[in-house]
Structure formats: C-alpha cells, structure tokens
Amino acid sequence: MTALLAQATHVIGVDLGGTKTAAGVVSSSGEVLFADTVPTLNRAGGEAILDATAALVAGLVGRAADAGLTVSGVGVGSAGVIDASSGTVVSATDAIRDWAGTALAGGLSSRLGLKVRTVNDVHAHALGEAWLGAAAGTSSSLMVAFGTGVGGSFVLDGTPVLGHHFVGGHVGHFASPFAAFEGRAVPCVCGSAGHVEAIASGPAIHESFLRFGGSHAEAADTRGVFELAKGTPDGGAVAAAARTAVELGAVAAGQAVGGLINILDPETVVISGGLADSGELWWKPMEAALRQELLAPLAAVPVVRAALGNSAAIVGAAKLVLPKGIVL
C-alpha cells in the first residue's frame, strides 16, 4: 500500500491569509492527507512571511517523506492581487504590511527547491469548490464569499477568470444602493465609498448596528450583533437595531450577487464565508433579495452554500500544480 502511495502524485496547497497560513499535503484526487497552520506574520514584511511559509511547507514535506510520499510542487492561494503568471503580489491591503511587490512564487521556490504556482486566495477557494465542492461537475460557477471582506471568483471550464490586470473577483468593490446613511455614501476600506463591501461584509454589519443606535458595549463585534438579532421580536431598540443591520447587510449581499448572476449567467452559484455559515437569519433575506434581482431566464439558478469549509483554498491551490491542472 505504501508503495502505491509513493507512486502517486502529491503536492502541497497553501492558503495564505491575513491572520493565518494553512497548508496541507494533497493527493491527486484532492484528499488532504496532512495539514498544519501557523500565524501569518502580517506585520513583519514579505521576506519574513516567505520564511515562515517555507518552514511550514518544509515541515509537511518532511511528514510526507516519513509516510513514503514525494511532494512534486506547491500551490499557493494568497491574500492580495496576485500576478499568476509571475507569481508576484501586485497589491495588497494593510492587513499584510509590505506584502505588495513580494516575489511570492520565486521566493518560496528558491527556499524550497520546488515548483511553486500562486493565485489570489478567493480564486483558490473557488477552484476547490469547483473541483470537489458545491460546484463540482459544473461547467461554470460563481463563488462569492462574505466575511471580513467580500470577494468572489468566476470559474469557467475549470479555470478562474483572473482579468487582464489580475484584479478579477473583487466583487466587493462596485456600487451598492444600500451603502449609504443619511444621504451619504458609506466609506469603504478600499478608500472609495458606497461599495458592496462597505455594507455587506461582517465588519460592515457591525458598523451599521452602531449607526442604528447600538453601542460597542452591547455588541463588541459582528458575532455579538447576530446574538442580539436572534433575540425575541420585543427585545427593544437594541435588538431591533441588530436585526436591521443584519437584514440590511444580507439584502445588499443578495442584490449584489443577483446582479452578478445577470451579467455572468453561471451554471451554479456558491456562497461562502462566515456570513454564509451564520444561519437563516442572514441566508433567507440574502437569497430573497438575490432571487428578486434575477432576470426571468435565470430564476431557477442553483444558489448553494460552500461545501469544503477551511480546506477549499488548500485543495484549490493544490490543483494549480497537479498534473493536468489548470492553465492561468
């Protein structure tokens, strides 16, 4: 049995995010055999992150070798705008300091002596779902993730549409009519205002709660807003503010995804992220707003929750370096 495993192709998939970096040894069939996680050194700069990521991968290569497995390459899904052809970080937010300009693929390859390919982390997530998750077997899928931010990816015939400047998938950064308060557009983390992410992300729901009269003492974060919103209908003004904030974020999310469906006409739609996992309080108004937005021929498009959880980006990143993988 060990001899058979050694003959098979194994690679490592890496999900490099703003707070943690997860990696796993992945078989040619997409099974994650070993996995490990380290904090992302997001204040230490690109070279320190490359050192830590290489150490994480090297540890997994060693574990694989102990099991009689040979690792042939490394695929990375990373936060930031990633030039998939050169493996360089084109731009990034302040979530990872001095990340822009980092030679991600080249830096890891020189440290590890392995072939490395990389793509944006949301594209990697969508690839995993398209290969083995909620969109498996479809010719096209739109995945939109609602969590700390709002991101997405359109996967067509097994390949994510990256865009000419590799910015494709930034679906949180177009205008939403809901992203306004008292006649003024709500500021967005990108530096603009009135965007989907400014009203439909997790932090944006907490900000809406504060604008509607809630306080940090009553709900310190988005999780606290949801707990208040789950209370009884006669829970008072604070509970009402929480429910309004959640519903507003959900409706804004649904309308945005519905508009994207009208533009892209995907075979199936996958909704991911922490808000997608928060329950019917968010999901029902989100899907209702989405369905209301759709053109008539698209009324029956499947809209499903992501299926692979935290392993999606690892599996999708691994697909980049597997034989018969994808051409970006």
- Every domain of the chain and the residues it spans: 2-130+310-319, 138-306
CATH number of 138-306: 3.30.420.40
Residue 2 — pLDDT band, cuts 50, 70, 90?
very low
Q: Between β-strands 20-27 and 10-16, what pairing exists: parallel, antiparallel or unpaired?
A: antiparallel
Query: How many Cα atoms sit within 13 Å of 114 on the Cβ side?
Result: 23
CATH topology of domain 2-130+310-319: Nucleotidyltransferase; domain 5 (3.30.420)
pLDDT of 305: 97
Strands (DSSP E) contained in 17-113 are: 20-27, 32-39, 71-78, 81-83, 88-91
On whether the CB atoms of residues 317 and 119 are closer than 8 A, the answer is yes
For the segment 297-315, what is each residue's pLDDT rounded down to a tens digit? 999 999 999 999 999 999 9
Confidence (pTM): 0.93
Dihedral angle sign, alpha carbons of residues 212, 216, 221, 223: negative
Q: What pLDDT is stored for residue 9 in this prediction?
A: 85
pLDDT tens-digit readout, 88-128: 999 998 889 999 999 999 999 999 999 999 999 999 999 99
Q: Which residue has the tokens 């919103």?
A: 229
In this structure, the number of other CB atoms found within 10 A of the CB of residue 37 comes to 13
